[in-house]
Amino acid sequence: MNSKPTSQPWSDLDRPPLNEGALRRALLTGADAPPASGGRCPLWTSLDVVTQTGSTNVDLAERARAGAAEGAVLVAEEQTAGRGRLDRRWSAPARSGLFFSVLLRPAAVPAERWGWLPLLAGVATATAVSRIAGVDTALKWPNDLLVTVGGEERKAAGILAERVGTTGIVVGVGLNVTLREDELPVPNAGSLALAGAAVTDRDPLLRAVLRSIAEWYVKWRDAGGDPHVCGLRETYAAGCATLGRTVRATLPGGREVEGNAVSIDDEGRLVLAADGAEVAVGAGDVVHVR
């Protein structure tokens, strides 16, 4: 991990650094939590903010293998080698978004239900962003958060869940907050600022997202990972822009399936109706067919 900055912290006044101390007080002790929130988050045990690193997922996975406790949070002001699904690489200007990973150890949940964790993180992130930033959000299966920019759906966040050994899973979130049009890595990317967000202050956004993840995770874990009992399946379906649309899925091995996305199954897989049969997609690349 490299903690050396690439630019001075206040070189862009629109992008101030995160306040690590205030985040710890808010999330680990509940010092500034709203009265109805119950104080500190019931999950987070540590929180570190680094100036720069390659990937928070890689770094936190190393800590997990060294015995880090569940609830560890690692946040980077800048990632130089961020990764998405299918090992896609991306980067963003320093302090232009929220780039963080969390360590979960859902030992009481059957492993076949762990596939719900990236969907859970998506629901939690979308809920928090909509509430704090005042923008409409939607979810693209399995791990993208969409916002509307100029009447078009654009990806503003991605989520990557990776298992660490047999007991841990690291969930990483990358959310574009203040990226400008000329800074976007690809044309279909977006940011909260471009979507007209009322709030782009990253501190309250991060607190809200982490509190939302903790709330959903505890409900899901206490329900034994059952997506029906904790309400996760219904909530995800209600906010999923993929369901009801024609999609093309490129499966591992290169095989393509095109069909109508009809549901999410008990393991968090996308179910397609294609050629008179139903196909459950658990991995691969899914494209909304226009």
Q: Mind giving me the DSSP string for 240-258? A: BSSTTSEEEEE-TTS-EEE
Return d(Cα 227, Cα 162) in angstroms, integer: 20
Domains of the chain, CATH where assigned: 20-237 (3.30.930.10), 243-288 (2.30.30.100)
Token pair belonging to 287: 């494209």
Q: Phi, psi at residue 256, to the nearest 5°? A: -110, 140
- Is-contact 20 194, C-beta < 8 A? no
Q: Mind giving me the DSSP string for 75-134? A: EES-BSSEE-GGG-EE---TTSEEEEEEEE--TTS-GGGGGGHHHHHHHHHHHHHHHHH-
Return d(Cα 67, Cα 82) in angstroms, integer: 23
Give CA angle at 160 (83, 167), nearest 5°. Answer: 120
Per-residue pLDDT of the chain (290 residues; tens, 9 = 90+): 444 444 444 456 779 999 999 999 999 976 555 544 445 678 999 999 999 999 999 999 999 999 999 999 999 999 997 665 545 666 789 999 999 999 999 999 999 999 999 999 999 999 999 999 999 999 999 989 999 999 999 999 999 999 999 999 999 999 999 999 999 988 899 999 999 999 999 999 999 999 999 999 999 999 999 999 999 999 999 999 999 999 999 888 888 999 999 999 999 999 999 989 999 999 888 999 96
